[in-house]
Structure 1
Amino acid sequence: MSLIRWQPLREIDTIRQQINHLFDEWMHGQGHESLFTKLNATWTPAVELTETDTDIILKAEVPGMEAKDLDVEVSTDVVAIAGEYQQEKQQQDKSFIWSEFRYGQFQRIIPLPVSIKNEQVKAEFKNGVLMLTLPKVEAVKRKVVKLDLGVQEAAREAMTKERQHQEHLQDTMHTRAAAEVGAN
């Protein structure tokens, strides 16, 4: 009897191949509906959000779409993108043998991480990529003042000395005034 070394990665690869084969048959099997048709799955565009100091940049991939077929709505905290992929009109003598294209309506709602100025949004559509530049709302900045307690204490002492000096001058003036009145 000979020993055979156990190779777990080879067994995992075999299982992966069997699962891939099972899904391929299920999705693309001859004479059967695909998995997407059975589930009536919808497609939504992939999005990317980036942030700068002043803006939020939203990019959405909508390949094969034209700008006129997109409906984009922007509020202060949400962007909604909707549209519809139209199936091309087939000629009478042609029929599909295989199609993995998805047709129909789609909608994607993207919550924004900060409030934006929705009246000032800039849009660009190029090569199937929608890019929105969403300017951020400027939050009311609270004025912060740093207090230097040493300076305040020195200012308070200076004011106290000044007040004492003023009181001394007033006392001196009263004394002189009283002396002049007594002399007359």
Structure 2
Amino acid sequence: MIRYTPGVDLWGEPLATLRRIQDEINRTFNEPQAPAAEYPALNIWRGEDAVLVTAEVPGVRMEDMELTVHQNTLTIKGKRAPVATEPDVSFHRRERTFGSFARTIALPFNVDPDRVQACAENGVLTITLPRPEAERPRKIQISKA
């Protein structure tokens, strides 16, 4: 027998009961309500002479990552290994992902691939992407005629 909460207008929103049941099921299985964000999370700063990209990559070994630059496109690829667990235990909650990842972003201008620098510290990858000298804005001096 189905029992309804007094005061609920079932005819006003016919799917209200189903939504409530779905919410309870999601809460029971600890499924996130929001869609997963892209990985790795990035911050991008643009200057006149270069673009600075920082990416959060905790638990990723630098030898398991690959950066490629082509004109105005940066691709970050890598693999995060799973955490080793005891053979006789099971997860109570598992939110950290593992496996291969790839992220490609368009940069605001072409970059000089020979001068790109990357370093990592405390799980943050920092990439400096300089603009080619020939494509940098130039200040033009105006002379009297």
Provide the TM-score with structure 2 as the length reference.
0.69
Q: Which has the higher relative contact order, 1 or 2, with Cα contacts under 8 A spaced 6 or more apart?
A: 2
Corresponding letter in the other structure for 1:63: P
- Pair 1:55 & 2:54 matched: no
Verify the 8 A CA contact 2:74 2:106 in the aligned structure 1. Answer: yes
Query: Which secondary structure does the structure 2 equivalent of 1:87 belong to?
Result: coil
Partner of 2:82: 87
- Pair 1:132 & 2:127 matched: yes
Partner of 2:111: 116
Aligned length: 123
- Pair 1:67 & 2:62 matched: yes
Q: Which has the higher strand share?
A: 2
Verify the 8 A CA contact 2:60 2:81 in the aligned structure 1. Answer: no
Task: State the 1:81 CA deviation.
Answer: 0.5
Superposed CA RMSD: 3.1
- Pair 1:107 & 2:106 matched: no
Task: State the 1:91 CA deviation.
Answer: 2.4
Task: State the 1:143 CA deviation.
Answer: 6.0
Query: Which secondary structure does the structure 2 equivalent of 1:83 belong to?
Result: strand
Verify the 8 A CA contact 1:83 1:105 in the aligned structure 2. Answer: yes
Task: State the 1:145 CA deviation.
Answer: 4.8
Structure 2 residues not aligned, in runs of 5+ = 1-18
Provide the TM-score with structure 1 as the length reference.
0.56
Structure 1 residues not aligned, in runs of 5+ = 1-17, 149-184
Q: Which has the higher helix share?
A: 1
Partner of 1:165: none
Task: State the 1:52 CA deviation.
Answer: 2.7
Verify the 8 A CA contact 1:66 1:128 in the aligned structure 2. Answer: no
Q: 1:87 to 1:80 in 2, by over 3 A?
A: same
CA separation in 2, counterparts of 1:86 and 1:55?
Answer: 32
- Pair 1:97 & 2:96 matched: no
Task: State the 1:62 CA deviation.
Answer: 1.1
Q: In percent, how many aligned pairs have the same letter?
A: 26
